[in-house]
Structure 1
Amino acid sequence: MVEAMEILQQIGQILAFLVLTLMYSVRSLVNFFIPAAYEPVKNVKGDVILITGGGSGLGRLLSIKLSKLGAKIVIWDVNEKGMEETVKMVKSNGGTIHHYKVDITKREEVYKVAEQVKKDAGDVTILINNAGVVSGYHLLDIPDHLIQRTFEVNAISHFWTTKAFLPSMISNKRGHIVTIASMAGHMGCSKLVDYCSSKFAAVGFDESLRVELEALGVTDIKTTCVCPFFIHGTGMFGDVAPKFTPVLTTEQVSESVILGILREDLYVMLPKSMRYSFWVKWILPWQVISMYMRHTVPDACPTPGMK
């Protein structure tokens, strides 16, 4: 009798899963055909937005643009001169901004400065894990400390920043965590073994965190994973010249990131056509995928980054 009840319960769970799968799939299909202009967006006026790597490139543009929307900006970076420039630009537009020199690879430093941010600016409501580095060497040529640095900045630091600000988001029932990952977090590339691996980790961090929050019943905290192709203007891939797919600009990416935040998108993939490429990855033979990647990006880092 007990076994029969368990079997019926399992059948009921499977049927419920199939019904919900159909419902969510239909809703997703309908949303696909809704023009972006008609999609609902949230208002970030009054939000406290913390952006790591805000002293240059994409982080600087996000700071300027989000401040224009009425958000209070907080930037972290190790580049004090760069942060000062960002501060000037934001304030020249009438924005509010706080800046702190922080090495996000140092856990205790992150926690300490996070407490100061709460005192100075209030509870962070949107966290943008943007800071990133690239070494740009073949695996056997990368000094060990650069491999560690790549993972510490591109992936492990996300744990420290999120642990610092997620508790207040949960308490306030309001929050959004944005992970600036990469298309390199979905497909490997020569001379970027450490970089791709760290971005795979960043993508996994976002997805796992989202699942965990949902499993805990935390529905007020949103997460967005941003996966752009190569970007000019970040100081990392300025001289890369891929074939077939054009390099993105920080202007293009910043606009898409902000729209993704406002719409609370789960993923922002740039260019948009890339979001359909992953189906192909698992269908075509590996030799085809490898050949495509090797010819599309013949040299991901003509000029290596870190030393």
Structure 2
Amino acid sequence: MNEILDAITRALAFGTPLLFASLGAIVNERAGVVNLGVEGMMAIGALTGFAVAYGGGMGGNLWLAALAAMLVGALAALLHAFVAITMRANQFVSGLALTLLGLGLAGLLGKSLEGQVLPPNVGDAAQKLLISWGKFQVGSLTLLAIGLAVLLAFVLQFTRVGLTLRSVGENPAAADVLGLNVGMVRYVAVAVGGALAGLAGAYLSLVYRPSWTDGMTAGLGWIAVALVIFVGWSPLRAIFGAVFFGLLYYLQFRLQGQSPVPTEVFSAMPYLLVIVVLGVAGLRGQQGSAPEALGRPYTRGER
């Protein structure tokens, strides 16, 4: 029983940054904009959050550090929005460039913090973010991510904001005729997606592993992008998808040294499964649930 509780706890911890990042990707993709820069935004979010908590004299205020990471993530996403929405450049190329830029900047600017850990008072504050029920522990940011997924599902299905977002992603020309500012809606959606990616990165450097190391995102941003497709752009299914991949990460470390299989196989397991589940999604026609105008630039007045 203790092993099961430990596995669930670890899966939730591993899955939290995936859930934040995938929810952000769902928001901007529902508006019709693809952003492959999730990995880069997570990297600069992780660095920003850690830098603010480590040297900003915040007295262990991790929420303020997380807010700074969200702001930087949103600003980075707005750069992609300008290139992809205003300049109508290829969204996939722009997103890849943002990933390279984010990873490069985080590695360069974070050299002085490489290998550093949070001060004791800040680390203690991170531990206070854990909520316990007996032997079961869950982080408050994990609960926030799950609550955000439920809220996003409600907003998309039952509110005017959600209808506006889906309309712009499905048929921007019709939304334009109805008087919606397609460009503005897409800008806001991309900024929200960037903020959540920054928060996902901050979770890694502030809560999950309270330290900064270059490359600590370790491909989680790419898994989040794939997860969005796998769950069919559904925030509620994203919860289970994130926990599932979180469990794979836990097993990756849990099974190392206990099996004759080389450790490299376990390290590659989450990424191999991404390929498998995307292949299954493709065979099942899962791509049919994608927003109709996803990845296509729009010029006002076009039909």
TM-score after normalising by structure 2: 0.29
Please tell me whether Structure 1 or Structure 2 has the larger radius of gyration of its CA atoms. 1
Structure 1 length-normalised TM:
0.29
* Structure with greater contact order relative to length (CA < 8 Å, sep ≥ 6): 2
